[in-house]
Amino acid sequence: MWLVELHSVLEKQRIRLCVFSIASLQFFDEPFGMALAGGAHVAARFMLAAAPFHGVRSVDELAYVMRGYDEGSEWPSGSGCSFTAALAPRPWAGGFRMAQQADALMQAMHETLPPRYAGPIDFPMKTVAQACRHVLLRIAGGTDIEIATSAEAWRTAVENCGHSMLMALVSATAALRHAGRGQTPHA
C-alpha cells in the first residue's frame, strides 16, 4: 500500500515512478491472486509486464561475468586493484585472469547438474559468485594456481555451493510449468 501511496503522490507532481521487481517465477502468478483478493489497483499499477530474467546460458556470458572480477571491480575500495589482482597478485602479474576460467566453470556446472535434469541450461549467479569466490580465496590462501583452477577444484567449488540442490529445484519447477501448459520439458 505504501508503494501505491508513493505512486499517487509522485503522479500529482507529474513524476513518473517506474518499479522493476526482481522475483521468482512463482511471483508472476501474484497479479491474479492480488486482483482476486481486492488489490486489483496494485496489480494494475505495478505488475504490468513480466519477463524472465535469465541466468548464465553460455561460456561467452560466463566469461563476461567473470571478467568483472578482473576489470569491473576494485578491492579494497580506493586501491585501484581489481578483485582478482588484489587476491591473486602473483598469478595476476603472470597473466592469470578469472575470465580465462569460464570454460572450466561452465563444465563444472554442467557436470554437477542433478540426474535427469529437465530445466533450462540457465545457471544462477549464486553458483557463479560462490564458486569464483571459493577459487579466488584458495589462491589468496596460497594454493598453487594450477591446483586451485583444476577441473576437480572447480567441480568441488560448484558442489560446495549447493548447485545440485538449486538446479534440482529449477528442474522440478520447469517440469511443473511445462506440464501446466501441456508441453514436454526438454532435457
Write out the three cell numbers for 103.
Answer: 570454460
Residue-wise DSSP of 82-115: -HHHHH-HHHHHTT--GGGGHHHHHHHHHHTSPT
Write out the three cell numbers for 186.
Answer: 526438454
Task: Answer yes or no: do 162 and 82 share one domain.
Answer: yes
Q: Containing domain of residue 14, as a range?
A: 2-46
- Least confident range from 7-16, 154-163, 177-186: namely 177-186
Query: What single-letter amino acid sits at 10?
Result: L
Question: What is the C-alpha separation between 140 and 138, in angstroms, rounded?
Answer: 5
Q: How many domains are contained in the chain?
A: 2
- Residue range 42-85, pLDDT digits in tens: 666 666 666 767 889 999 999 999 999 999 899 999 999 999 99
Task: Answer yes or no: do 96 and 168 share one domain.
Answer: yes
Task: Answer yes or no: do 31 and 65 share one domain.
Answer: no
Residue that wins the pLDDT comparison between 20 and 68 = 68
What value, to the nearest 5°, has the Cα angle with vertex 71 and ends 62 and 79?
140
pTM, two decimal places: 0.73
pLDDT at 115: 92
In a domain, 148, yes or no: yes
Task: Answer yes or no: do 87 and 129 share one domain.
Answer: yes
